Structure 1
Amino acid sequence: MSDHAKLNFSELVEEYYTPLYRFAYSLAKNEHEASDLTQQTFVIYAEKGDSLRDAAKVKSWLFTTLYREFLRLRRRSANVTTQENEILEVEAPAVEPGIARTLDGKSAVDALDQVDEAYRTPLTLFYLKELSYKEIASVLDIPIGTVMSRLSRGKAQLKTILLSNRTAS
């Protein structure tokens, strides 16, 4: 969509409900909480969305809002420890060409679900939601270097999972 400013609220919901719900589900791991998070994101947009200065950034704003709402609920409902920033950046090993050809979508998503949450969220935003490093940094409220590090570590973990699933088959 080229001009977010011309969207009315119902068009905005129609365009972004499904991707936001999928992101919420990847975080919450249950349909009820994913629905609640998605709906709450639109409630917050209805209340505060008019303060968004750059209408072209509505997608990033919605994902950021949903993620922050998820964190707020997690902090309130459980003893969630604050994740520390990673210090080291590691280079992810290259994925073997055979893996990509033999994967189906479901096994890839199942493998992604096994990745540690700290890495799963950036991987989901990057590969499934197609956000840039800068947008991911904004959504997660972390430095771009940390995004790069988490993506790198997440890719390495995902590769290990995929290889172990492949040899187990």
Structure 2
Amino acid sequence: MSSEVFSQLVDAHYTALFRFALSLTKNSSDAGDLTQQTFFIWAKQGHALREVAKAKSWLFTTLYREFLRGRRRADRVTALEDLGPVEADPPAPPVDVITSMDSSLVLESLQEVDEVYRAPLTLFYLQEFSYKEIADMLEVPIGTVMSRLSRGKAQLRSVMMRKEAGTKVVPFPIQTVRKQS
């Protein structure tokens, strides 16, 4: 694969992959590492893909599998928190302008949804994959994807209602329409 084709692939899919990784890891540096690892794997193995049109799906599947592999590995290693007090990580810079817009409540709430539901929600609503594509990526039946989406939406709705209850809403005055006699 030429470096130009690889650059085009990175340009076309980096942002979407990073956002998906961020929804899984909840940490921008881990999301960046996961996205970079995904493209590294593509550089080594992507030439084996027969249909170039399936590159996006391949990348998302690979990213999700790498996330799961890393999580399994982390479960075997002593957590850093168990090693004693360490200097707190500096706050992560905002991902992009979108997170500071009206969607910030949704994105923030999405981070509180259980991971098993968060991945399908992100893939379906933010990345616009079909049920079948998500089922292939997550290696579950389509029915499971549909039920996880349903349960995930319910959980997201619950989290958002809880968050909105904590904010003060200023109602607009209701204007009555007068009939002219």
TM (norm. structure 1) is 0.79
Runs of 4 or more, structure 1, over 6 Å off, are none
Q: Which residue of 2 aligns with 1:86?
A: none
Per-residue deviation at 1:168? 2.5
2:109 to 103, 108, 111: 111
1:56 to 21, 32, 53: 53
Counterpart mapping for 1:82-97 below 5 A: none
Query: Is the 2:23–2:110 Cα contact (8 Å) retained in structure 1?
Result: no
Query: Is the 2:131–2:145 Cα contact (8 Å) retained in structure 1?
Result: yes
Per-residue deviation at 1:75? 0.4
Higher relative contact order (CA 8 A, sep 6+): 1
Q: Any gaps of 5 or more consecutive residues in structure 1?
A: 1-6, 80-102
Q: Which amino acid aligns with 1:56?
A: A
Q: Does residue 162 of structure 1 match 2:166? A: no
Q: Which residue of 2 aligns with 1:127?
A: 125
Q: Which amino acid aligns with 1:74?
A: R
Q: Does residue 37 of structure 1 match 2:34? A: yes
User: How many angstroms apart in 2 are the aligned matches of 1:61 and 1:163?
Assistant: 35
What is the RMSD of the two structures over their aligned residues, measured on CA atoms? 1.7
Kindly provide the CA deviation profile for residues 63-90 of structure 1, in whole angstroms up to 9, marking residues without a partner as x.
00000001001101115xxxxxxxxxxx
The range that moved more, 108-117 or 157-166, is 157-166
Q: Which residue of 1 aligns with 2:17?
A: 20
Per-residue deviation at 1:164? 2.0
Per-residue deviation at 1:154? 0.4
Q: Which amino acid aligns with 1:31?
A: S
User: How many angstroms apart in 2 are the aligned matches of 1:28 and 1:120?
Assistant: 11
Q: Any gaps of 5 or more consecutive residues in structure 2?
A: 77-100, 168-181
The range that moved more, 70-79 or 144-153, is 70-79
Larger Rg: 2
3-state SS of 2:111 partner: helix
User: How many angstroms apart in 2 are the aligned matches of 1:121 and 1:63?
Assistant: 11
Q: How many residues align?
A: 141
Q: Which amino acid aligns with 2:73?
A: R
Per-residue deviation at 1:42? 0.7
Identity across aligned pairs (percent)? 60
Query: Is the 2:112–2:159 Cα contact (8 Å) retained in structure 1?
Result: yes
Structure (1 or 2) with the greater helix fraction: 1
Query: Is the 2:16–2:127 Cα contact (8 Å) retained in structure 1?
Result: yes
